[in-house]
A = this chain, B = another copy of it.
């Protein structure tokens, strides 16, 4: 999606360790018009899929996922970060490359129900650990993952590859093939055709 690629080039910052900071337009400061256009794009991609709920992870996925849920006229479930305090929650562990440590995400039991069709929306897909944790929770709830919409996929990490090999439909609006801290270079991959 050209608009998102342009925003990444103009407003993104590459940090050492393959970290891409997009806090100037996607999380700490948010450009709502861009986010709405991204939601339109996901809606176009998934509109023939039956979606009962949209799910995301706290907190940078919320803005994106909310607008997608509005388009599908369905509820949004936000997995909380941090240990849940009781048995009312499904939990799963995530390894964060960026922070080099584990954290837990949790969803209250009953917020995702058996047989529901869930569309996952998130801001980043790198090693896929966060997405896999959310998929585990959706499976604990005996619901189905019908698609995964990602804003920015780092193709040089293997999260997207693994998820697609497992049969999930992953739609990333910007796919980064290569990112160079020293040269300030970002190379995007484009779909054929």
Instruction: Mark the stretch among A75-83, A126-134, A146-154 that contacts chain B.
Output: A75-83
- Are A77 and B108 neighbours in the complex by a CB distance under 8 Å? no
Q: Which of A23, A27, A32, A58 has the most CB of B within 10 A?
A: A32
Interface size on A, residues (CB 8 A): 29
Chain copies in the assembly? 2
**C-alpha spacing A27/B107, complex, angstroms:** 11
Instruction: Mark the stretch among A41-49, A66-74, A178-186 that contacts chain B.
Output: A66-74
CB neighbours of A168 from chain B (8 A): none
**Which single member of B35, B74, B77 contacts A28 (CB below 8 Å)?**
B77
- Are B111 and A76 neighbours in the complex by a CB distance under 8 Å? no
Shortest Cβ gap from A146 to chain B (Å): 18
A33 at the interface (CB under 8 A from B): yes
**C-alpha spacing A111/B73, complex, angstroms:** 32
**C-alpha spacing A29/B30, complex, angstroms:** 21
Interface residues of A in 88-119 (CB under 8 A from B): 107-108, 111
Shortest Cβ gap from A22 to chain B (Å): 12
- Are B30 and A69 neighbours in the complex by a CB distance under 8 Å? yes
**Which single member of B23, B32, B78 contacts A30 (CB below 8 Å)?**
B78
4 additional A-B pairs beyond A29-B75, A29-B111, A30-B75, beta carbons within 8 Å, are A27-B78, A30-B78, A32-B76, A33-B70
Ordered by A's residue number, 9 sampled pairs between the chains whose C-beta atoms are within 8 Å are A28-B77, A28-B78, A29-B108, A30-B66, A30-B75, A30-B78, A33-B70, A35-B66, A66-B67
